[in-house]
A and B are shown apart, each in its own frame.
Chain A
Amino acid sequence: MKNFIIKRILLGVVVLLGVVAITFVVTRVIPSNPALQWVGSRATAEQIAAAEEELGLNKPIPVQLGIYLNDMLHGDLGYSLKSHRPVVDEIMENLPPTLELVLLGTIFAIVAGMALGVLTASHKNKWQDHLGRFFSVGSVSLPTFWVALLLQLLFYGVLKLLPIGGRLSMDAQLFGQVPDVTGFLLLDCLLTGNFSVFGDALSHLILPCITLALYPTGMVARMTRSALLEILNEDYIKAAQSYGIKRKIILWKYALKNSLGPTVTVVTLSVGYTLVNTFLVESVFNWPGLGSYISDAVMNMDYPAIMGVTLFSACAYVVLNMIADIVVALDPRVRI
């Protein structure tokens, strides 16, 4: 097990190096002038030259990559060309709102997806199954931005139940005491016991969260259903029935545990997907997170910021995959 984990970590490092190299070269090759971004559009030729010197842009690209990697090892991802602040700080500031969305969305997806999967598998070819499958195929195939707009139209425009976007309403921002302990707004509200802001924050979270959870919910439901159907045909399920064990227990315990392998893999992969998907969802719902940050960065050709966020996403992917492998390896039958 130990060797397995070490091997996986080493492999992850190789993947990350590859990601850094590729994005680094790509951001250097696209036609833009970072030095000009750094000093502003009205700078003189001397100022631009000085900025190139300061940012190390006059060195050859492999050397620049070496410098970047060296800085990266010391926890330095460079400075944002726009704000002149360290990219690491900016990512850390924008991370909690995004993580809040991704985590809640994923938890929702796991619970709802598994429940839907078990429901459809246990009612195979009945109306529950058809409806559930219709929903899961739909949720996987509908484009996220369109679903987001549709939900806004329905819950804000027609029903007037939920806010259209943002993380807090104006009232709460101006008059409520918005707590800031960890950056996770819901958690902070609970920690400080501020329930009026909590409610406000929660109502803002619902729509983006559902939008985000839709795709993984469908994936988990389909995966759970097909795995369960296969397992319900196994001899040991019939045997368990013959010992008089209740159908509910057989379904939720005996069969579900056997089907977890593929489900875990799908969940971790779709968390990665969700992380990327938030970038879209955040801009539709005007959610202040990593997604809004990177779309601004792309618009401004702020390449240290682009690199930073890309690196972060790649890291997340690698770690999630590693977790998936380790969890699957916890199955008693898998020997490493």
Chain B
Amino acid sequence: MEDYIEIKDLKISFKSYDGQKRVVDIDELKIAKGEAYGLVGESGSGKSVLALSLLKLLTEPPAVIESGSIRIGNLNILPKSEREMENIRGKKIAMIFQDPMSTLNPVFTVGQQIIKVIAKNQNLKGKQARQKALEMIELVKLPDAEQIMEKYPHELSGGQRQRVIIAIALACGAEFLIADEPTRNLDVTIQAGILKLLAELQKTLKVTVLFIANNLSLVSLTCRRIGLLYHGQIVEQGEVREILDHPVHPYTKTLLQPLPQTEEEKEAVRRSLSVQENADQGCPYQFRCPRAEEICKKEMPPVHQIGENHEVHCHFLEEGESAR
């Protein structure tokens, strides 16, 4: 399939008082048209920074895009001016933000906010825009669309707000949707509902989705392919089933391990979390990796292609893994 999104050699750093710190370092990330791609990583792994950089919404400085290219459809994003981006955002790319509590403007009603987005991106006015807004609210399965339109964000529950946010993002009519941890701050039952909704919408509307999460099980429900991000680098990517069944990278394995039960296991987790972070050179995972050796500290791990749709960045492959 043709690649719709192509990120190459993207390096993003943040300036701070003690020098520049790199937060995103991606060699290559491709997403096909109409595909749902899941990006998984812990807090601080650079997921949201990557998402914002796709929209060119990073505040520069402190952020610095050192090198790389981002292509979405036939658009080369990074060299675009702010004015050009205003026409690309919304029409081509839209984003669902992570915090439903703070993503809606508190002093405008839900209706006003959706209608504004529709008026901007779909050139509809008055009754037509209103009609479209109602359709969008119904699309995200909120009952009583008319009533919801008149409500202010603080009058809605967290789950309702997240549905409204999804409705607004869809109202843009974009063909590429970034969902940045859309189920954060929601209870588990509401999470399931939102995920189901997103998966359905992705299939019916045929949009390309980049789904960002901090939890493997969340993306496994909605995405076909996933990538694991560790300290801004993709350490393993491939088809969901393949990775869940045969994880190769030590980091992926750790994520898929059951919760630690014995004191011994808990101690191991504690130890791995207390070590120094941020490698200047070598593998980003060297400090927490149970298998790390000298070579990991010196050299970037090579990319191993395992099977057709599965790649891993590690110096060591266990017996039989490369053969598959």
**Measuring CB to CB, which residues of chain A are less than 8 angstroms from any residue of chain B?**
234-236, 238-247, 254, 257-258, 331-333
| Contact of A243 with B89 in the complex, beta carbons under 8 Å | yes
Which chain B residues (101-121) contact chain A, with CB distance < 8 Å?
Answer: 102-108, 116-117, 120-121
Task: Offer 6 A-B interface pairs, CB within 8 angstroms, sorted by A.
Answer: A239-B165, A241-B57, A242-B57, A246-B86, A258-B106, A332-B154
| Contact of B169 with A243 in the complex, beta carbons under 8 Å | yes
Residues of chain A within 8 A (CB-CB) of B154 are: 332-333
| Alpha-carbon distance between A57 and B154 when the two chains are bound, in angstroms | 61
Given contacts A243-B117, A244-B88, contact A257 B94 (CB under 8 A): no
| Alpha-carbon distance between A243 and B114 when the two chains are bound, in angstroms | 10
Residues of chain A within 8 A (CB-CB) of B107 are: 257-258, 331-333
Residues of chain B within 8 A (CB-CB) of A236 are: 102-106
| Contact of A241 with B89 in the complex, beta carbons under 8 Å | yes
| Contact of A244 with B89 in the complex, beta carbons under 8 Å | yes
| Alpha-carbon distance between A332 and B109 when the two chains are bound, in angstroms | 9
| Alpha-carbon distance between A208 and B295 when the two chains are bound, in angstroms | 79
Residues of chain A within 8 A (CB-CB) of B104 are: 236, 239
| Contact of B117 with A242 in the complex, beta carbons under 8 Å | no
Given contacts A235-B99, A236-B103, A332-B154, contact A243 B172 (CB under 8 A): yes
Given contacts A238-B97, A333-B154, contact A243 B102 (CB under 8 A): no
| Contact of A244 with B99 in the complex, beta carbons under 8 Å | no
Residues of chain B within 8 A (CB-CB) of A332 are: 106-107, 152, 154
| Contact of B152 with A333 in the complex, beta carbons under 8 Å | yes
**Measuring CB to CB, which residues of chain B are less than 8 angstroms from any residue of chain A?**
52, 55, 57, 82, 86-91, 93-95, 97, 99, 102-108, 116-117, 120-121, 152, 154, 165, 168-169, 172
Residues of chain A within 8 A (CB-CB) of B55 are: 241-242
Measured between C-beta atoms, what is the minimum distance from A233 to chain B in Å? 9
Measured between C-beta atoms, what is the minimum distance from A124 to chain B in Å? 11
A-B contact count (CB 8 A): 75
| Contact of A245 with B90 in the complex, beta carbons under 8 Å | yes
| Alpha-carbon distance between A54 and B268 when the two chains are bound, in angstroms | 98
Most buried by B among A243, A258, A332: A243
Beta-carbon nearest neighbor of A259 in chain B: B107
| Contact of A239 with B91 in the complex, beta carbons under 8 Å | no
Residues of chain B within 8 A (CB-CB) of A245 are: 86, 90, 116-117, 120
Measured between C-beta atoms, what is the minimum distance from B225 to chain A in Å? 24
| Contact of B94 with A242 in the complex, beta carbons under 8 Å | yes
| Contact of B120 with A243 in the complex, beta carbons under 8 Å | yes
| Alpha-carbon distance between A258 and B102 when the two chains are bound, in angstroms | 13
| Contact of B120 with A234 in the complex, beta carbons under 8 Å | no
Residues of chain A within 8 A (CB-CB) of B105 are: 236, 240, 254, 258
Beta-carbon nearest neighbor of B85 in chain A: A244
| Alpha-carbon distance between A246 and B95 when the two chains are bound, in angstroms | 16
| Contact of B106 with A333 in the complex, beta carbons under 8 Å | yes
Residues of chain A within 8 A (CB-CB) of B106 are: 236, 258, 332-333
Measured between C-beta atoms, what is the minimum distance from A250 to chain B in Å? 10
Beta-carbon nearest neighbor of B91 in chain A: A244
Measured between C-beta atoms, what is the minimum distance from B322 to chain A in Å? 41
| Contact of A239 with B172 in the complex, beta carbons under 8 Å | no
| Alpha-carbon distance between A276 and B263 when the two chains are bound, in angstroms | 73
The 5 nearest A-B residue pairs measured at CB: A244-B90, A244-B89, A235-B102, A242-B95, A332-B152
Residues of chain A within 8 A (CB-CB) of B57 are: 238, 241-242
| Contact of B172 with A244 in the complex, beta carbons under 8 Å | yes
Beta-carbon nearest neighbor of B87 in chain A: A244
| Contact of A243 with B121 in the complex, beta carbons under 8 Å | yes
| Contact of A247 with B89 in the complex, beta carbons under 8 Å | no
Measured between C-beta atoms, what is the minimum distance from B179 to chain A in Å? 12
| Contact of B168 with A243 in the complex, beta carbons under 8 Å | yes
| Contact of A235 with B97 in the complex, beta carbons under 8 Å | yes
Beta-carbon nearest neighbor of A242 in chain B: B95
Residues of chain A within 8 A (CB-CB) of B121 are: 243-244
Residues of chain A within 8 A (CB-CB) of B99 are: 235
| Contact of B103 with A247 in the complex, beta carbons under 8 Å | no
